[in-house]
Structure 1
């Protein structure tokens, strides 16, 4: 078996495939799925070693703001969440988020690029004790990360077919943990970290969010909209204002790049799970996809669902009667 640093990585989505033989891999099965796409320039691959050798990329660490209601007893000046962003952007361009808890650190999602500088920076922050991947588009090089930090990585059992490196021959230490339940507690060293992995489905059958201490990390499952990121606090003259009625904060998509929405049945099923959790700050899969310290955030999720369902022509749908 070839060294995994020489395994081919899709330039479009960042998925690492278990071969160094370019002649054996003409396409990426993730990009050929209707939820993703092959760029107009065509399919192409690189390797983790080649990305390192280029010397142009690095992972930046960006602290995200704490909300005022956090309750874990952590120093309010210490960021509970830190985004990890590859620059220049690679693949889909998502960010990972390090969640710092008293029990240990949990890495939410994964970026494809990993180098020694990233490992050392994370060690200074306490390392990684567990990883959680939201959905297959962000599987990327998760086995490389899990091996470097010798930690488990939690994946939805429903989405195991999308693993490009399946089986024990690639996960020799058995680091992958396939989740069957709707909710999973992340336990680190026998201690409940407070992190909850919540399976909502929709984008993929097993699409997951992470809930911790008033934060919800949404990836592509609850996709934040430009209007959702707007504050609407003041007008052009500096006068106070509120959000206009009928403006959404999230959209619910089967395919984000190809703009295929979820149907009302799926949206309703997502609501009946997510409504059971409390959160006031949301952080999506990309830089800037943040709503911080809004006690009405759950209502904004429900309002967004109602807006999408009405726009599809379902004026009498039962979800329209739901309240928070």
Structure 2
């Protein structure tokens, strides 16, 4: 890394302002200079009923901690989230590959405990962030671990800081390289929620963040009835919704869903892992792909596009 990139120093930026609604850090401590968050002024996001407010890492570090939750099904993955909730409250996911660790998405809180724990696990080789609502303090994370952070080129306008660690991805698929060879982690640009919204794929695990929004009926279980008898999941239930704005409930248009599917259908995945804890669906490859397609078709149908050509699409 060029010498013009500042080294990680937890004290240097601890007073910089962080939006309390989205958790994004701005490179100033001057509340007269920064009065609003342009990310939360975008129609996809919102300010709190109490109005625009800012905090900083010094105050967050005094009251919050990052909590680790290993995946029950696979010890190669661990969720990290912050308690009490900061900003949106998303999780990051540590992906352990044979060539090193990759962090999927990012958190606002970065502190000594988190840095030391990750370094004890081998550090980070790369960070991949799904979309601008989770940009948070990604420059601090990249500096702490001296690693690249991959962001979609289409969404560069939403960054609040510039760094030599940032890599803006132009292609639809990024085969993440570690020390000159493939890590097996793929970042796939589906768009939708933001023009550059990513999902990530590793060993049939699809990390979806908010690009696909996991629904309660997707997580629900219909395997047995109240007395333990086997049953079949009822028809017509979705597992995901596809939103331009999640909090403001603005759905994506049918043609956009069709475009997203034209990319995603090329990949095999047997599980999805959403933006928050306990948003994990584990099935088989055919069922997972069927659930995604059917969820898209359900959304299109109930938006009033009953004759849309995409409703005839099937999973081979």
Same fold (TM > 0.5): yes
- TM-superposed CA distance for 1:237, in Å, is 1.4
Alignment partner of 1:245 is 2:235? yes
* Contact in 2 for aligned 1:65/1:292 (Cα 8 Å): no
Aligned counterpart for 1:60 among listed residues 64, 67, 74: 67
Q: Compute the RMSD of aligned alpha carbons.
A: 1.3
Alignment partner of 1:102 is 2:98? yes
Aligned residues: 305
Query: Deviation above 3 Å: which 4+ runs of structure 1?
Result: none
Once residues 282 and 116 of structure 2 are traced to their aligned partners in structure 1, the CA distance between those partners, rounded to angstroms, is: 29
Aligned counterpart for 1:15 among listed residues 18, 24, 34: 24
Once residues 28 and 274 of structure 1 are traced to their aligned partners in structure 2, the CA distance between those partners, rounded to angstroms, is: 33
Aligned counterpart for 2:153 among listed residues 128, 144, 157: 157
CA deviation profile, 1:20-51 (whole Å, cap 9, x unmatched)? 00111111111110000001011110111121
Alignment partner of 1:182 is 2:172? yes
* Contact in 2 for aligned 1:187/1:193 (Cα 8 Å): yes
Q: Which residues of structure 2 form unaligned runs of 5+?
A: 1-5
Match of 2:3 in 1: none
Match of 1:45 in 2: 54
Aligned counterpart for 2:272 among listed residues 278, 282, 291: 282
Aligned counterpart for 2:127 among listed residues 85, 109, 131: 131
Once residues 69 and 122 of structure 2 are traced to their aligned partners in structure 1, the CA distance between those partners, rounded to angstroms, is: 16
- TM-superposed CA distance for 1:65, in Å, is 3.1
Once residues 44 and 313 of structure 1 are traced to their aligned partners in structure 2, the CA distance between those partners, rounded to angstroms, is: 39
With normalisation by structure 1, the TM-score equals 0.92
- TM-superposed CA distance for 1:233, in Å, is 1.1
Q: Which moved more, 1:267-276 or 1:226-235?
A: 226-235
Match of 1:208 in 2: 198
Question: What are the equivalent positions in structure 2 for 1:224-235 lying under 5 Å apart?
Answer: 224-235=214-225
- TM-superposed CA distance for 1:287, in Å, is 1.2
- TM-superposed CA distance for 1:231, in Å, is 2.2
With normalisation by structure 2, the TM-score equals 0.94
- TM-superposed CA distance for 1:149, in Å, is 0.5
* SS of structure 2 residue aligned to 1:117: helix
* SS of structure 2 residue aligned to 1:204: coil
* SS of structure 1 residue aligned to 2:119: helix
